[in-house]
Chain A
Amino acid sequence: KAGVTQTPRYLIKTRGQQVTLSCSPISGHRSVSWYQQTPGQGLQFLFEYFSETQRNKGNFPGRFSGRQFSNSRSEMNVSTLELGDSALYLCATAPGQGSDTQYFGPGTRLTVL
């Protein structure tokens, strides 16, 4: 099976812009979670989608949003970028039922200048 795919792998934006990141899950996986990884805060949960519905949400401002499509692919969007949004954004996917394990993608490295 192909693994979790994230695009793009690297992105450079300036303050005030917006950005969209994409995650394609492993075939058959319907749950997609997003995490932000920074040196200061570590790994923090953003949100989780299952069957096109947001099922769990972390403590991030409304500038961070996401969605999931009928083929389970997910996108996350960050509007009005701030310098502190520079991070590695990881998505993780799972079949979505019960106590399944999440499988992580390689991440998108976002740099905000």
Chain B
Amino acid sequence: GNSVTQMEGPVTLSEEAFLTINCTYTATGYPSLFWYVQYPGEGLQLLLKATKADDKGSNKGFEATYRKETTSFHLEKGSVQVSDSAVYFCARGAGGSNYKLTFGKGTLLTVNP
């Protein structure tokens, strides 16, 4: 079946450090891939997405590239801020439907000043 595996963390970084959160997915069909972010006490916000191989999604300094050959969609940011502290979720659509998402377990990121 469909699954998503992401590094669970927690990840603790200093401000301005480089961030990578790894995410791999099962290669069933040609799913769209997503990164969502969840701040304390809130729902999920879409951070970025990519709909086909080699697409790069980007937003607010975050980037992720859809790599079909390695079935990966790693999240990166060159310089994190304290305000980036949150839980990050990698997700895939279900082939023909992006309304049935499969999520990774989430990665808690804490950025210290």
Binding site for B on A (CB under 8 A): 4, 31, 33, 35, 42-45, 48, 50, 55-56, 58, 90, 92, 94, 96, 99-107
CA distance in complex: A87, B89 (Å): 17
Instruction: List the B side residues contacting A55 at CB < 8 Å.
Output: 97, 99
Tell me what chain A mostly uses at the interface: helix, strand, loop, or mixed.
strand
Report whether over half of chain B's contact residues are helix, strand or loop; otherwise say mixed: strand
- Chain B residues, Cβ within 8 Å of A35: 101
- Complex contact A94–B99 (CB within 8 A): yes
Category for how many chain B residues contact A: 20 to 34
| Cβ–Cβ contact B100 & A99, under 8 A | no
Partner of B42, one of A56, A92, A103, A106: A106
Which B residues are in CB contact (< 8 Å) with A56? 94, 97, 99-100
The residues of A that contact B45 with a CB separation of less than 8 Å are 104
Chain B positions near chain A (C-beta within 8 angstroms): 32, 34, 36, 42-46, 49, 51, 89, 91, 93-94, 97-106
Given contacts A42-B103, A43-B89, contact A100 B98 (CB under 8 A): yes
